[in-house]
C-alpha cells in the first residue's frame, strides 16, 4: 500500500486488494503466528479504507478457504482432511487458485467501484 499509494493518489483513484485467510475465522489450531497475521489483514483493510477512501482509493480483502495449491496438496491434503472439507463446505468441490484470482480481479476492477472496506470470504461456503 505504501509503495503504490502515491501513484494511485496522483491518478485520482485506485484499488488495493489484501489477501487474508479464513484460518482465523474458523479457529484453526496449530499455527498461531499465521492465524494472528491473517486476522490482522482485516484491521489493515478497514484502516486503509478509511484513510484512503477520501482519495478515491478502494481497499478490500479476500479471505480464501482451503485452496488446492500444489503445496497444500503435497504437504497437508489427506483423504480424511479432504472428506472433512467436503463435509463442511456448501459447495462440494475443491477450490483452486483461479477461483480466488477471479474474486481479486473483481475487486481490482471498476465493476466493484462501489465496494470498499470489505472482507470477502471465498471459501466455498465453509465459514
Question: pLDDT value at position 90?
Answer: 97
Question: pLDDT value at position 31?
Answer: 82
| Total domain count, the chain | 1
Question: pLDDT value at position 83?
Answer: 95
Instruction: Print burial letters for 12-47: b (CB count within 10 Å at least 16), e (below 16).
Output: eebbbbbebbbbbbeeeeeeeeebeebeebbeebbe
Sequence-separated (6 or more) residues with CB below 8 Å from residue 115: 58, 60, 107
Collect the ranges in the chain with pLDDT lower than 50: none
Domain that holds residue 118: 5-122
CATH number at residue 86: 3.40.50.720
Q: Residue 67 has what DSSP assignment?
A: B
Question: pLDDT value at position 58?
Answer: 99
Question: pLDDT value at position 26?
Answer: 81
Whether 34 sits among the annotated catalytic residues: the reply is yes
In a domain, 58, yes or no: yes
The pTM for the full model equals 0.92
In a domain, 127, yes or no: no
Catalytic residue, chosen from 5, 34, 96, 120, is: 34
In a domain, 32, yes or no: yes
Q: What percent of the chain has pLDDT over 90?
A: 90
Amino acid at each position: 500500500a505504501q509503495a503504490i499509494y502515491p501513484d494511485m493518489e496522483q491518478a485520482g483513484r485506485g484499488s488495493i486488494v489484501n489477501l487474508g485467510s479464513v484460518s482465523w475465522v474458523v479457529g484453526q489450531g496449530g499455527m498461531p503466528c499465521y492465524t494472528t497475521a491473517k486476522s490482522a489483514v482485516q484491521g489493515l483493510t478497514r484502516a486503509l479504507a478509511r484513510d484512503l477512501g477520501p482519495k478515491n482509493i478502494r481497499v478490500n480483502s479476500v479471505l480464501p478457504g482451503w485452496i488446492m495449491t500444489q503445496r497444500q496438496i503435497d504437504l497437508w491434503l489427506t483423504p480424511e482432511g479432504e472428506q472433512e472439507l467436503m463435509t463442511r463446505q456448501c459447495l462440494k468441490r475443491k477450490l483452486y487458485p483461479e477461483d480466488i484470482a477471479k474474486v481479486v480481479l473483481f475487486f481490482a476492477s471498476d465493476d466493484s467501484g462501489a465496494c470498499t472496506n470489505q472482507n470477502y470470504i471465498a471459501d466455498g461456503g465453509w465459514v
